[in-house]
Amino acid sequence: MTTAAATIGDTLAPVRSKRGAAMIAFRALLVRDVQVLRKTFVAFLMRTVTQPLLIVFVFAYVFPEIGQGVGGSGEGATLFSTSLMPGLIGVAVVFQGIQAVTIPLVSEFGYTREIEDRVMAPLPIWAVAAGKIVSGAIQSAVAALIVVPFALWIPSTPVEVELNWLALVTVAPLACLLAGALGLAIGTRAEPGQIPLVFGIIVIPMTMLGAAYYPWERLGAIEWLKWAVLVNPLIYISEGFRMALTGIPHMSAWGIYTALVGFTAVLSWLGIAGFKRRVLA
Amino acid sequence: MTGGGANRTETGPSADIIRTEALTKVYASKGGPAITAVDDLELGVHAGEIFGLLGPNGAGKTTTVGMLTTRVVPTRGRAWLGDVDVIDDPVAAKQLIGVVPQVSTLDRALSVWENLYFHGRYFGMGARSARRAADETLERFRLTDRANAEILELSGGMAQRLMVARAVLHRPRLLFLDEPTAGLDPQSRLALWDVIGELHADGQTILLTTHYMEEADQLCGRVAIMDHGRILALDTPATLKRSVGSDTEIRITSPEATRVPDLARHLEDFDGVQAATATTDGLVRVYLRGDHAGLARLIAHADAGGFEISDIGITEPTLEAVFINLTGKDLRE
């Protein structure tokens, strides 16, 4: 053992500026999460792909093929598969945010205390929590990319893509950050035994009522529902991707951006506050 | 008593690498009265020493370590690591310390080697130097053959060794070990004592908590005996043991288990006996002033009281005796 002796001096001062140390640690935390993602990539792929694959297969391939129309046939079917594509991306993003952030956090807070090794890294606790949001966002983005080909090529009717690049490069990062923040907010509040509940009463209603499978504008036919679903952040993610990727009528751009930014801010604040409360005595 | 207590500042701040001033933690409890876990703690730890906090569970040792390592926010009081104010500047404090908490905080999503590697990265090492540090540390802590193992495959002793290895990987100026050998088998405990001794020989300042008096006796340069959030005594183990006033501990076994408490009371009256306590396993511990010259008369005294004695053991006083003397209760209670 020849380590510490030489470095113990009379003065005791940190070797790095706080900001420098914190930025390095923040980056290292993300690298750690990416490494874990790499090690578990097959599982990641399976949980990312299964649900959208089945939805797109059943609704946009099986139904039209057997003549059981969702969205009718011909133009209606194209409208459906086109509308479904951004919705599935939105679902993948939100689903991954919860999978990537909530589930590990709940067990780390509940059964094990292993998050504490990262809390002891030389950065503020809020930054450790923010790192969780960013790492969730990265995983959500990967999930979104994986889902795109399924949503494009499996439907038996053509999907009509109309790319709006400016919208895409602004909506996508916001949507992914929102998903990470949602994952953190839930993860710092749920107990280990409540995970099935999280999926049963949060994730499934969110996806069913998140304008993923239908454009929000079309809910005009059920006026109360159209307004009631606005509490669901997935609405704005689905509509945002619809705006960025298709020519289908969507919610107004300012509504989408305001809600995406607003939800991200509020959920981040809730998540970081919850994280601090769980970690600090 | 030197170096601790309220007189600490007179020795000069440079001598103390860890300092606290009236450090206090009060936990609010639901429905009950608030619990003062740490009460006006004044502590000074010298550079390069192994400093022990010895006390039973609930004495406030872990809360003290929690406050010194930024994890517990004090209710009042202050704490410094060198010149860094722990409460005002936790991020700077975290750069200076390595911590081994009571529970395993090893990253189960990562392998043994990766735990060390990423720890190095968190603390600012580049990829190459973190790799080298991970390799070297595994070697030094005799874990190289487990490099690719998953955390859950490790034995308790190995996991604990890895925790210590990880805590010193980034060469912290201060190492905190919270009950480092609790729950380990005797062999793993001795192995870890060796590790701690080697770190100390390298000049590492270590603050450890323990409720094992042998551990405090064996490892620590100075020991603070804690109970109910307060330091009751602070000195070298040798001085503390002398302070009990009894130089010899005599363990008397009686075949009449039911009369053991009576025997203890009977012996307590004997001139030269500091204290006599009955243990649950049919034993009376007698703390005798001076050497064991008075032993024969003590036995005669027991005999005169009509008590039977089947075995006698003589030992030097332990830190446990100090604790019993200070609190009137056992460390294990």
For residue A2, is it within any domain? no
Q: How confident is the model at residue B68 (pLDDT cuts 50, 70, 90)?
A: very high
Q: Do B204 and A8 touch (CB under 8 A)?
A: yes
For residue A273, is it within any domain? yes
Q: Where are the alpha helices (DSSP H) in B210-285?
A: 213-219, 237-243, 260-268
Distance CA B127, CA B120 (A): 9
- Mean predicted confidence (pLDDT) in A137-147: 94
Expressed as residue numbers, the domain containing A199 is: 17-279
List, as one string, the DSSP characters of B51-66. Answer: EEEE--TTSSHHHHHH
pLDDT value at residue A199: 86
Average pLDDT for chain A? 87
pLDDT value at residue A108: 86
Token readout for B208 is: 């450890």
For B24-41, how does the pLDDT look when each residue is reduced to its tens digit (9 = 90+)? 999 988 778 889 999 999
- Mean predicted confidence (pLDDT) in A154-166: 87
Tell me which long-range contacts A229-232 makes (C-beta under 8 A, separation of at least 24).
A230/A259, A232/A205, A232/A206
pLDDT value at residue B321: 78
Q: How confident is the model at residue B11 (pLDDT cuts 50, 70, 90)?
A: very low
Q: How confident is the model at residue B303 (pLDDT cuts 50, 70, 90)?
A: confident
User: Among residues A183, A213, A165, which one has the least CA distance to residue A98?
Assistant: A183
Q: What single letter denotes the amino acid at residue B215?
A: E
What is the DSSP pairing of strand B50-54 with strand B205-210? parallel
For residue A5, is it within any domain? no
Distance CA A110, CA B31 (A): 24
Interface test with A, best of B65, B88, B94, B135 (most A CBs within 10 A): B94
Residues of A in Cβ contact (< 8 Å) with B97:
120
For residue A206, is it within any domain? yes
What residues contact A106, with CB distance under 8 A and at least 6 apart?
A: A187, A190, A191, A192, A194, A195
Q: Are B267 and B260 in contact (CB under 8 A)?
A: no
B140 touches chain A (CB under 8 A): yes
Residues of B in Cβ contact (< 8 Å) with A121:
94, 122-123
- Mean predicted confidence (pLDDT) in B201-210: 94
Q: Which residues pair with A19 in a beta bridge?
A: none
For residue A66, is it within any domain? yes
Q: How confident is the model at residue A42 (pLDDT cuts 50, 70, 90)?
A: very high
pLDDT of B87 higher than 50: yes
Residues of A in Cβ contact (< 8 Å) with B70:
120
Interface list for chain A against chain B, based on CB atoms closer than 8 Å: 1-5, 7-8, 10-16, 18, 20-22, 24-25, 28-29, 31-32, 35-36, 39-40, 104, 112-124, 279-281
Q: How confident is the model at residue B6 (pLDDT cuts 50, 70, 90)?
A: very low
For residue A8, is it within any domain? no
Average pLDDT for chain B? 87
pLDDT value at residue A74: 64
pLDDT of A29 higher than 90: yes
Q: How confident is the model at residue B13 (pLDDT cuts 50, 70, 90)?
A: very low
CA dihedral A2, B105, B93, B47 (to 10 degrees): -40
End-to-end distance of chain B based on CA atoms, in angstroms? 26
Token readout for B213 is: 């008096």
For residue A3, is it within any domain? no
For residue A238, is it within any domain? yes
Lowest-pLDDT range, A122-131, B57-66, B67-76, B257-266? Answer: B257-266
How many domains are there within chain A? 1
User: Among residues A107, A108, A187, A176, which one has the least CA distance to residue A142?
Assistant: A176
Q: How confident is the model at residue A211 (pLDDT cuts 50, 70, 90)?
A: confident
Distance CA A38, CA A46 (A): 13
pLDDT of A3 higher than 50: no
Q: Do B71 and A119 touch (CB under 8 A)?
A: yes
Q: Measured at the alpha carbon of residue B174, what is the angle toward residues B171 and B176, in degrees to the nearest 5?
A: 110
Q: How confident is the model at residue B98 (pLDDT cuts 50, 70, 90)?
A: very high
Higher pLDDT, B305 or B68: B68
pLDDT of A220 higher than 90: no
What residues contact A35, with CB distance under 8 A and at least 6 apart?
A: B110, B114, B118
Alpha-carbon distances of A208 from A204, A229, B93, B104, B273, rounded to whole Å: 6, 10, 48, 40, 80
pLDDT value at residue B333: 54
Q: Which residues pair with B20 in a beta bridge?
A: B43, B79
Interface of B with A in 197-256 (CB under 8 A): 198-199, 201-205
Lowest-pLDDT range, A53-57, A64-68, B206-210? Answer: A64-68
In this structure, is the dihedral angle defined by the CA atoms of residues B46, B47, B50 and B55, taken in order, positive or negative? positive
Q: Do A281 and B66 touch (CB under 8 A)?
A: yes
pLDDT of B293 higher than 90: no
pLDDT of A61 higher than 90: no
3-class secondary structure, B327 = helix
Other C-beta atoms closer than 10 Å to the C-beta of B194 total: 10
Q: Which residue has the tokens 């730890």?
A: B45
Distance CA A244, CA A228 (A): 24
| Longest CA span, chain B | 76
B271 class by beta-carbon count within 10 Å (0-12 exposed, 13-18 middle, 19+ buried): exposed
pLDDT value at residue B200: 94
Q: Which domains, and CATH codes, for chain B? A: 5-241 (3.40.50.300), 245-316 (3.30.70.100)
Q: What single letter denotes the amino acid at residue B258?
A: T
pLDDT of A112 higher than 80: no
CA A169 to chain centre: 16
pLDDT of B125 higher than 50: yes
**Side by side, which strands form the sheet with B97-100?**
B97-100, B174-178, B205-210, B50-54, B222-227, B230-235
Interface of B with A in 34-53 (CB under 8 A): 47-48
Residue B80 sits at φ, ψ, to 5 deg, of: -125, 145
Is 0.90 surpassed by the pTM of this model?
Answer: no
